[in-house]
Structure 1
Amino acid sequence: MSERRPGAAPNETTRRALLGGTLLGTTGLLLGGTALARTPPTTREPDIASTDAWGARPPRNELVLLSRPARKIIVHHTATPNSTDHSRAHAFELARSIQDHHMDHNGWTDTGQHFTLSRGGHITEGRHHSLAAFRDGGRHVVSAHTSGQNRLAVGIENEGTYDNVAFPSTQYDELVGLCSALCTAYAIEPYEIYGHRDFNATGCPGDRLYALLGQLRTDVAASVGGDPTGVSWPLLRSGDEDERVRVLQYLLNEHGATLTTDGIYGPATEGAVRDFQRSTGAIVDGLAGNQTWNQAVRERTYGDSGPAVRAVQHRLGTTVDGVFGPVTESAVRTFQSERGLRGNGVVDARTWDELVG
């Protein structure tokens, strides 16, 4: 699986020390907060075997449940043998094997990912309570599948190694169905379906499966609607001077840097990029490319505040006070309308893409 490869693996212990949220007991859900308004799922729920069904061990510690939905989906491959056993019993054995590896070898609380899809097309719940959170549609179980994204993204492990081997059609069809159901339940746009390598220094989910993600987004959009076009970020480097650099500086400040937002990619900005890449498990090269932008961007909406909001306001030409109030929301809606985006006033990855570009 993705965590077995060299490079920065998700550090569950460090993350848990920093996380707030509602705790999930090993014997049930301890839910807190107010459920978010949402549209009930309309797609068929895939057949997902619960942790009880495949005989999971209880989590070692309490899990964390956020009272808000996941905002994206990240696709992995397990980097295990391409088994020819397509039975449900094998899928259950795989789920137990992954949990044992994550808990006993990695020292994690539970299975890292939310769901696992076998080569035979059988889906199993990974981390406890992921199935209940998905059915609720307004909650997200904090996971351990992608450094920097575990509070935001649903993780799907796909059995097999797909560097050079084609992804099986049965497995692909079930992946489309699962992603479609998740997008409906959580109101995730198809363009928010990614591969693990879009965030971390890893080859996961393999070249062959990664090459299918564009088709996956298209097929999911055909099922549930929405925009399948993946986001596209600029590559910035030392010596660059423009508004894209200024946005990057604001975003890095949102994550703890103290840069002057002058739009100049000098030594301080390059150093901040390297520090951020190191902290999120991305490739550390000082270049602001795909992984850096994907890790730095966070959805911003009414009521938010901070440097990222300042970046939005600067690009929209409104008062730069760092507070996402009515004026900023109105300006975002106008910008979205002018760019042919969904005019909901929420600055998600697609809106960020347009603001940066």
Structure 2
Amino acid sequence: MSDPSRESAPRSTTDPSRRSLLGAALGGGAGLLLLDRRTATAAAVPRDSAIADTATWGARDPRATIDVLDHAPSKIVVHHTATPNGTDYSRAHAFALARSVQDHHMDVNGWIDTGQHFTISRGGYATEGRHNSLAAVRDGSRHVVGAHTAGQNRLAVGIENEGTYDELDPRDAQYTRLVELCARLCRRYDIAPHEIYGHRDFNATDCPGDRLHALLGRLRSDVAAEVGGDPTGVSWPLLRSGDAGDPVRVLQYLLNEHGASLTADGVYGPATESAVGDFQRSTGAVVDGLAGNQTWNQAVRERGSGDRGPAVRAVQHRLGTAVDGIFGPNTATAVRSFQADRGITTDGVVRVRTWRALLR
């Protein structure tokens, strides 16, 4: 039940050590001289009209092979760097920021490369973070395993936004570029706009800041205006000790999918509460034994034809089909019928909206 990436779970972006290191690096002229030590190797013109790749901003080589999966990501996670809200909006600063983040992630966190896939500066410049991320987007069917959101690194594209957004909003240029980048990712990877999240939707962190997190509804809507789809985010039920019923049973099946050994009896007793706490701990979520948004967001995985296991059993139980844990033709037909009845895209695949409907 540990995070599947080879790196450790990322630190909270409100971690004082991270804030002080990057803040010192980006806050003054002396720091920028240090950051610009690789400027001579950076190309003068970005190779991509929207995103400067790692060669353009002068990245170091990763210290190990980057994992690239043969499937597209299914969601986007928005972060902030928790660094000062500086007033240098130049491309040179954006490149210096990219180098500073990579240095921190490799030299302080001990990661193999930059953790996130892309970074957007306060000036609105977008840079590639982890190597091969831009190539994977251009391909449209591959995903680079990052190190930005514990429990989600094999599933989500991570976007860092320079600054701290607890008390103010991102600059217009930065927000506009964030919309453009999210829309590009949604188009290329067929990600639904409602699958845009903030870091705190999964992990125990303040990231991406109160104000930026509050903007996510608008971000989903603005992206949906570009690519289509319903931007309404999913809100999950809060389950706790003493609860009983089918939602609890679904939760138990999902926990078993992630390594627990629960009897799916639909009763939120001590064993279930303990399993929830263990799962929260393993995914970097708030550990409180309550199954809320973070727990559901971490536990739910897309399931479709050919899949097997406890999560498929949860779907079959709720649909009233034979519970054998095999997502075969009968299950797919039942899912499509359920989706049609609920006004969900009728594709026979159990994604986040279908999971939420199964809990009602």
Separation (CA, whole Å) in 2 of partners of 1:282 and 1:233: 15
Task: Give the alignment of 1:49-60 within 5 angstroms.
Answer: 49-60=52-63
Separation (CA, whole Å) in 2 of partners of 1:46 and 1:325: 44
Separation (CA, whole Å) in 1 of partners of 2:229 and 2:276: 32
Q: 1:356 Cα shift?
A: 1.5
Question: Aligned AA for 2:58?
Answer: G
Residue 84, structure 1, aligned to residue 87, structure 2? yes
The equivalent residue for 1:344 is: 347
Residue 305, structure 1, aligned to residue 319, structure 2? no
Residue 114, structure 1, aligned to residue 123, structure 2? no
Task: Give the alignment of 1:250-269 within 5 angstroms.
Answer: 250-269=253-272
Give ranges in structure 2 of 5+ residues lacking alignment.
1-9, 19-47
Separation (CA, whole Å) in 1 of partners of 2:126 and 2:11: 18
Residue 186, structure 1, aligned to residue 195, structure 2? no
Say which of 344, 354, 359 aligns to 1:356.
Answer: 359
Say which of 225, 231, 237 aligns to 2:228.
Answer: 225
Q: 1:261 Cα shift?
A: 0.3
Residue 169, structure 1, aligned to residue 172, structure 2? yes
Separation (CA, whole Å) in 1 of partners of 2:117 and 2:186: 14
The equivalent residue for 1:34 is: none
Question: Aligned AA for 2:216?
Answer: L
SS of the residue aligned with 2:98?
helix
Conserved? CA contact 1:46–1:177, under 8 Å: no
The equivalent residue for 2:14 is: 5
Task: Give the alignment of 1:58-69 within 5 angstroms.
Answer: 58-69=61-72
Q: Which has the larger radius of gyration?
A: 2
Give ranges in structure 1 of 5+ residues lacking alignment.
10-44
Conserved? CA contact 1:46–1:181, under 8 Å: no
The equivalent residue for 1:123 is: 126
Q: So what's the TM-score if we normalise by structure 1?
A: 0.88
Q: 1:5 Cα shift?
A: 3.1
Residue 216, structure 1, aligned to residue 219, structure 2? yes
The equivalent residue for 1:237 is: 240
The equivalent residue for 2:145 is: 142
Question: Aligned AA for 2:158?
Answer: G
Q: Which has the higher helix share?
A: 2
The equivalent residue for 2:334 is: 331
Q: RMSD value over aligned CA atoms?
A: 1.4
Q: 1:228 to 1:108 in 2, by over 3 A?
A: same
Q: So what's the TM-score if we normalise by structure 2?
A: 0.87
The equivalent residue for 2:292 is: 289
Separation (CA, whole Å) in 1 of partners of 2:262 and 2:323: 16
Conserved? CA contact 1:2–1:76, under 8 Å: no
Aligned sequence identity (%):
71
Pairs aligned (count):
321
Separation (CA, whole Å) in 1 of partners of 2:229 and 2:304: 20
Separation (CA, whole Å) in 2 of partners of 1:69 and 1:234: 28
Q: 1:87 Cα shift?
A: 0.4
Q: 1:204 Cα shift?
A: 0.2
Separation (CA, whole Å) in 2 of partners of 1:252 and 1:176: 34
